Structure 1
Amino acid sequence: MYVCVCNSVTDKDIHRAVMRGVRTFKELKHETEVATCCGKCAGCAKQVLKEAIHQHAREEHAVPSFGGLAAA
């Protein structure tokens, strides 16, 4: 979904930025140029950023699966 129409920034772009280490809205604006034109997308961009950070944190702290094999 497009978050910033002015600069063609999608939710996937924001998720990729988080994967590269972006953690603040200021960093996101610098990395993607989201909300740097008219600014109407700022609220949505901040929400997507928050969700992406939470999702990334959950994925980093997930216990790895070993194919269902029990430890000996």
Structure 2
Amino acid sequence: MSLAATIYNNLFRRNFVMVGAVMGGAFAADIAFDVYSQRFWDWKNQGRQWKDIRQKYLLSEDD
């Protein structure tokens, strides 16, 4: 059996299975996009974000 026939028989033959596969794929793509866009943002703005410069502006307990 070819790969295309296997995919058709397992995913696209029944509507509810196809909808579930599409929804699961969309959910996974959304999470992946969020993670990689956050990493890119942090990489491009390194040293300019509050999490990077917080120690310069917060007073320690000794002061």
- TM-score normalized with structure 2 length: 0.42
The higher-RCO structure (CA 8 Å, 6+ apart) is 1
Greater percentage in helix: 2
Greater Rg by CA: 2
Greater percentage in strand: 1
